[in-house]
Chain A
Amino acid sequence: KNEVEQSPQNLTAQEGEFITINCSYSVGISALHWLQQHPGGGIVSLFMLSSGKKKHGRLIATINIQEKHSSLHITASHPRDSAVYICAVGPNTGNQFYFGTGTSLTVIP
């Protein structure tokens, strides 16, 4: 049983396209995180959400607590956005994050 499901698993886009990555979860949460991992690289935190919407540059993250769903949007995608995007949820009981298996994004020039 996977508490966090991401879709799609793989995504290829042309430079400039609007991209959406989805995350659905099955537990009550205290926080949801979006992480980015470049090929061969480390992992960085993009957003931490408990409600609503956050924006950082061309990246937007939204969360719908009632529907247990979050989306990560990338506007005007660029090849440097090529990475794996990981959704992680901190449940409202317990001490361990649940991680999605990631969405691998490739942006073609």
Chain B
Amino acid sequence: DAGITQSPRHKVTETGTPVTLRCHQTENHRYMYWYRQDPGHGLRLIHYSYGVKDTDKGEVSDGYSVSRSKTEDFLLTLESATSSQTSVYFCAISETTFGEQYFGPGTRLTVT
């Protein structure tokens, strides 16, 4: 199994608070992704990174920011959490742009 972890695995937070999710990999893969998964929508890309300090927006990036200061870590921040951001968040890594993706175990976030 690819070495990819997410923390925390579960989080409950209140509306308006900032939240940071962490994705950590030990595979030295260039590409890292943050997705959210909601019933009826499938996986939707929030942000992705194609190298250290190189990031770009996905289709549902509003309200989220990311940072990648080293190869192994990709952080997702909800600047001011809203109930619509209640979801399961998955991180994924890949060696090439559309190569095989390895997914983390997911983080279940509930915003009350």
Task: Point out residues on A near B: beta carbons under 8 Å.
Answer: 30-31, 33, 35, 42-45, 48, 86, 88, 90, 95-97, 99-102
Contacts and interface: CB of A to CB of B under 8 A. Distances in A.
B42 A95 contact: no
Q: How extensive is the interface on chain B, given as a class?
A: 20 to 34
Nearest to A50: B98
Contacts of B98: 30-31, 90, 97
A30 B43 CA distance: 19
Contacts of A101: 40-42
23 contacts: A31-B98, A33-B100, A35-B101, A35-B103, A42-B103, A42-B105, A42-B106, A43-B106, A44-B103, A45-B100, A45-B101, A45-B102, A45-B103, A86-B42, A86-B43, A90-B98, A95-B56, A95-B97, A96-B45, A96-B58, A96-B59, A97-B43, A101-B41
A88 B103 CA distance: 13
Which 6 A-B residue pairs are closest in the complex by CB-CB distance? A90-B98, A43-B103, A101-B42, A99-B43, A31-B98, A99-B42
Interface string B52-65: 00001011000000
A5 B42 CA distance: 11
Q: Is the interface of A mostly helix, strand, loop or mixed?
A: strand
Contacts of A102: 42
Contacts of B102: 45
A35 B100 CA distance: 10
Which interface residue of A30, A31, A96, A99 has the most chain B CB atoms within 10 A?
A: A96
Contact of A100 (B42, B97, B104, B106): B42
A63 to B, nearest CB: 14
